[in-house]
Every structure is written in C-alpha cells, then in structure tokens.
Amino acid sequence: MECALYEIASVVPEKDRVGRPRLFPTYLLLGYGVLARVYRSGARAGQELTDPVVWQVVRQTVQVALDEFRLDLPAPGDRPPDWPAFRYARDRYLTDPLVQDAMLEVFTELASSSPCPLPC
C-alpha cells in the first residue's frame, strides 16, 4: 500500500485540454489533500510545507520512493504545493466524474489486494 498514492495519481490525466502546464505532479496535489485532512485545513497544510526542513524531508522521502518503486515521475521541485494549487486541481480535474471513477477503481483494487502492484 505504500505506493498507493502514485498508483491513484497515475489515472489522472497529466495535461488539461487548455491552459499552461501544471506546476505540481498529481501525486503531490493528492498528498496535499491528505495533509489538509490531517491538519483539518488546507491553509495549515500549506503553512507546514513552507517550512524548509519539512519540505526537504518531503522531497527526500518522495525521491526515495520514486527510486525504490522505479517510477518515471517528476521529482518535487524547490517549491511546495500551496492551497491555491490544490484548490484549482480539486475544482478543475479531481472532481471530474470520470477521473473520480478511475481513482476509486484503483483505490478499491489496491485496498483489496495485499501486495503492491508496482515492482516493490
């Protein structure tokens, strides 16, 4: 299950039909959403991520996971995601019924299987 976030994020289309490219990989925005629930506030999650020590730990942890699972995903950049970026993602493409159905299908499959489906 430790690779579930990346698997769920993989079913979200990486490009919008119009507009500029996204600043943050989908897995980071989904992770931000999890932190917003943990901290009970999206603004508080953003505030925590702006701490340079916290963001460095997040970046290192993600890099280890990307290497360990051999995932071809962009590493987190120098800037952490923030509340406006998450809110835009949530309102723009994470609420698309087709995307939600795809994420739910992956989540259900991962939750009902014990081993990680990626080469862990």
pLDDT tens for each residue of 41-63 = 999 999 999 999 999 999 999 99
Task: Give the dihedral of Cα atoms 32, 38, 39, 45; nearest 10 deg.
Answer: -10
Give the separation between CA 1 and CA 90, rounded to whole angstroms.
23
Residue 112 pLDDT? 85
For residue 90, being part of any structural domain is answered with yes
For residue 100, being part of any structural domain is answered with yes
Residue 1 pLDDT? 46
Beta strands in 1-120 (DSSP E): none
Q: What is the pTM of this model?
A: 0.85
Residues ≥6 apart with Cβ < 8 Å to 102: 11, 12
Count structural domains, the chain. Answer: 1
For residue 83, being part of any structural domain is answered with yes
Range of the domain at 59: 29-112
For residue 9, being part of any structural domain is answered with no
Q: Residue 52 burial by CB count (10 A; 0-12/13-18/19+): exposed, middle or buried?
A: exposed
For residue 4, being part of any structural domain is answered with no
Higher pLDDT, 22 or 103: 103
